[in-house]
Amino acid sequence: MLTADLARSRTSDGKVMPLFIDSEDAQYRETASELIELFETHVGEPKADLDTAIDQLTVADTDYKIIQGLAKLLRDECDFETVAAAEPREIRQRLFARANDSYPIVRQPTLGEDIQKLDVYTAVADELGISLAECHQGMYADLDANNRLVRFGDQVAESVELDTDGTTSTTQLTGQSEEAYTGKALTVEWLLHRYNLALAQAVLYDATELRIRVWDHFATTFSYVKLFGLMHRIYPIDEHGERVSSTDLAAGYEAILDGPASLFRQSRKYGIRMANFLPALPHCERWDLTAEILTDESANETREFALDQTAGLQTHYTGGSRYDSDLERTLADKWERANTEWELVREDDVIDLGAEVLLPDFALEHPDGRRAILEIVGFWTPEYLEEKLAKVRQTDVDNLLLAVSEELDCTSEDIDLEADRVLWFKTGIHVYDVVDLAEAYAVQAPSAGP
């Protein structure tokens, strides 16, 4: 994504809108092509050389933010690593030790006992079994500016040329296989569309609330809501976007995603999660969003941000995965190794809470027919959790269990809830804690019929 200093937007009549660029504009396409070619020609080169080339291109163009923004997105598709024939720290230690023993070091000796700098490098290179050029190049190869661009998109540097004092040698990349750097080919179209998406994401860094409506691809959309741990309330809606009383009447769903301003800590981290969610929406053929953007925190002043499918944004996200978050994946992995009769399965059903719906994460199934449902709650506030619990209590879902993160340093003392229906966790969910809750609250699953 873009950093805040590279964001471009306009505020007018109480509304904020990203300054999208025309992906068909000849000038922007030429700039994008030049940047991609610049990165391609610097594969295997030091990061400092790449940065210098980008700065030179920026000086020649008046659209500083656009060029630097495009370059930032291309950097996100790069891998930089230390490339050296020997460990840089080992090279330095040997050089400094030998230089100390041979003090003083001079470039142009005037006495027979004076030692040239070149002699020190040569001696250390011989000790390490590397060339003089590799010794000189490797001394500070672990500095950020000297890290090499080893992957850009689908291009992988298999070797790096080291040139010092007119000599050239080749050092193979060590410790990594080519498979570790697999990527995709980057095109002008990809970059310009990715830039417009990033501009919209940057606006959401300061969102206090985000309302989305989708009429298709529900599973993919809400899997990303859960992937990024966003607090959410989901309501069934009709074809016109109006809320309806039950899922039986639903043509789509509206979700309210609470923004970072509703949290009492980690608002920056949460704001990035809000922005990270946005690329999930272009998976839908029909969608829209409305967000309140905080423009003046001291005065609590906000502006509206509205967007829909007509903006032409394109997603780079996949169509979804088996698990919606690392927490879910870790729990599933632990479950496979656990000694329990309970089976952990994905739960795809929508639980109708009346005017609101719930999309649980897992179902717990026992061979004797008992069944429990597990919902994992990441980010939350006391008000959000109380509202969710109140909705659950109003239904007849007696076997619904909640696993609630303590990441925000809240405990059951902060809210009025039945603690025995909730499993509090810090860094991870323990299998046997979930099993204990399932044993207490699971109900007999209804028969599938004759």
- Looking up residue 217, the CATH number of its domain turns out to be 3.30.70
* 122, 95 Cβ separation under 8 angstroms: no
Distance of alpha carbon 196 from alpha carbon 191, whole angstroms:
9
pLDDT value, residue 240: 96
Residue 92: inside a domain: yes
Picking from 308, 335, 354, the residue at the C-terminal end of a domain is 308
> What is the predicted pLDDT for the residue at 109?
55
Residue 192: inside a domain, yes or no? no
151: tokens are 């992957």
130 and 152 share one domain: no
pLDDT of residue 125: 93
355 and 218: one domain?
no
Q: What is the DSSP string of 305-360?
A: EEEEGGG-----S-S--S-SSHHHHHHHHHHHHS--S-EEEE--PPEE-SSSEE--
| Residue whose structure tokens are 């717990």 | 364
Displacement of CA 336 from its chain's centroid (Å): 27
Quick one: tokens of 78?
């790069």
Q: Residue 78 domain-assigned?
A: yes
Q: Say whether both 304 and 248 belong to one domain.
A: yes
- CB 170, CB 93: distance < 8 Å: no
| 56/112 same-domain check | no
> Is residue 330 located within the same domain as residue 371?
yes
Verify that 247 and 224 share a domain, yes or no. Answer: yes
Residues 301 and 409 in one domain: no
**Residue 282 counted as domain residue:** yes
User: Is residue 231 a part of any domain in this protein?
Assistant: yes
Integer Cα distance of 276 and 227 in angstroms: 10
Q: Is residue 449 in a domain? A: no
- Residue 210 bridge partners (DSSP): 257, 291
Q: Are residues 299 and 421 in the same domain?
A: no
CB 372 within 8 A of CB 364: yes
DSSP tag of 429? -
Assigned domain for 28 exists: yes
Looking at the structure, tell me whether residues 273 and 227 fall in a common domain.
yes
Confidence (pLDDT) at 344: 92
* 429 and 330 inside one domain: yes
Tell me: do 148 and 114 sit in the same domain: no
Using CA atoms, how far apart are residues 128 and 450, in angstroms rounded to an integer?
78
**pLDDT score, position 178:** 40
Helix (H) or strand (E) holding 274: helix 267-277
d(CA 59, CA 198): 23
Quote the number of domains for the chain: 4
- Which is it for the CA torsion 232, 233, 236, 239, positive or negative? negative
Report the C-alpha gap between 403 and 327 in whole angstroms.
Answer: 11
pTM: 0.74
274 assigned to some structural domain: yes
- Residues 340, 440: contact at Cβ < 8 Å? no
Q: What's the angle, vertex CA 76, arms to CA 137 and CA 407, rounded to 5?
A: 110
Question: pLDDT per position in the chain (450 positions), as tens?
Answer: 999 999 999 999 989 999 999 999 999 999 999 999 999 999 999 999 999 999 998 877 668 899 999 999 999 999 999 999 999 999 999 999 988 887 766 555 555 545 577 888 899 999 999 998 999 899 999 999 999 999 998 888 875 444 444 333 333 333 343 444 445 789 999 999 999 999 999 999 888 889 999 999 888 898 888 888 788 888 999 999 999 988 888 899 999 987 554 444 445 567 788 899 999 999 999 999 999 888 877 777 889 999 999 999 999 998 766 565 677 888 989 999 999 999 999 876 677 766 677 778 888 999 999 999 888 876 666 777 777 777 766 667 788 888 888 765 455 555 544 556 788 888 789 999 999 999 999 998 776 544
Domain span at 92: 88-139
Cβ contacts of 318 within 8 Å, gap of 6 or more: none
Strand 400-405 and strand 422-425: the pairing is parallel
Examine the domain organization and report whether 401 and 257 are in the same domain.
no
Domain-ending residue, one of 156, 181, 214:
156
